[in-house]
Homo-oligomer: A and B are copies of this chain.
Amino acid sequence: MQTVFIELGDRSYPIVIGPGLLGMASSFATLPPATSALIVTNTTVEPLYAQALRTSLEAKYAKVHGVVLPDGEEHKSWTTLNLIFDALLSQGCDRTTILFALGGGVVGDMTGFAAACYMRGVPFVQVPTTLLAQVDSSVGGKTGINHPLGKNMLGAFHQPLLVVCDLATLATLPARELSAGLAEVIKYGPIYDMAFMGWLEAHMDALRARDQAALAHAVRRSCEIKAEVVAQDERESGLRAILNFGHTFGHAIESGMGYGVWLHGEGVGVGMLMAAELSRRLNLLDAAFCARLRALVERAGLPVRAPVLDAQDNAGRYLELMRVDKKAQAGDIRFVLIDGPGKAVVRGAPDALVREVIDLCCATD
């Protein structure tokens, strides 16, 4: 077992990484006492891992309740969130209840937001079971739900007490979701650590073959980088925005295609290529790096061509969707761009250049 610490003063917490952790009571030994625990999971993960987690928690908590949500980004809504509140209230859960998010990014984001809101805030623990959640969404305290007019528009910063990354859960992950998670792993190279990008190029085949040692390193190094960035800027007033590399274009794809059609990581994967291409057109990056990034994204099993969102005015539709991005200011879209390999910058770009990038990346050949 390896441990990465997130240093946030009195909101600091550990991320523990290793195989089989969710089935071990010792993984949860550092948690405070509570009157009850609520496991929040989804219909896909519940039959695989809920009983093992329940057994671990029953060693510590007198009452362990559960609620099972529908699976998928399209269910990251108030209606689904309310299932968690209904479970908490109908079980009489009070302020000392601890919530456990068992699943991927959607379950983690919703459980964290429910914990932030319930009685104005109760503690929660992340038990991510997808690569994407282990390397990105379970760490850093961003929680929330989607609104029909924009992704993650409603939410809170609410840090977990603990993150338990059980690498054994990655064995059951569908190949498409493994690839989607690799997009968020790849992200850390161009924005922060080119040595890690080189390591990924050398180990991409091992990662896709689910080599345990390779996965352990990818998860640990991703969490380390995220921890370093979040510790410097918890509430994204500056530096933290670089973690959204690929997300401005990616969110437009997810939202424009309808939540759940493209996976979040798939949108981010092609979104990174679009952001890199935009960086190149702003003379921040050379064509060789764009090609290198594209090759790595493709080897991760991810799409490298962006979808057409509107047959009449495709670039206009992308721009319209990106203007409601949370980073936008006074209608100006803020892009996370690569300012030379290993360094990110957040800035605007002329619409005309952005349109060229969209036209190029959506082209059918």
Contacts and interface: CB of A to CB of B under 8 A. Distances in A.
How extensive is the interface on chain A, given as a class?
35 or more
Interface string A19-42: 000000000000000010000000
A330 interface: yes
A142 B121 CA distance: 11
A289 interface: no
Interface stretch (A144-152, A176-184, A193-201, A275-283): A144-152
A188 B338 CA distance: 57
A9 to B, nearest CB: 13
- Between A116, A119, A150, the greatest number of chain B beta carbons within 10 A of the residue's beta carbon is seen for A119
Contacts of A117: 117, 144, 154-156
A323 B331 CA distance: 48
Interface in A302-345: 323-324, 326, 328-331
Contact of A116 (B86, B142, B156): B156
A238 interface: no
Contacts of A86: 149
A149 B89 contact: yes
A142 B120 contact: yes
A324 B92 CA distance: 6
A316 to B, nearest CB: 15
A290 to B, nearest CB: 30
A5 interface: no
- Between A35, A94, A235, A328, the greatest number of chain B beta carbons within 10 A of the residue's beta carbon is seen for A94
A96 interface: yes
B95 A329 contact: yes
B330 A94 contact: yes
Interface string A65-97: 000000000000010001001100110101110
A360 interface: no
B92 A331 contact: yes
A49 interface: no
Given A118-B154, A121-B157, A156-B116, A89 B35 contact: no
A295 interface: no
A163 to B, nearest CB: 19
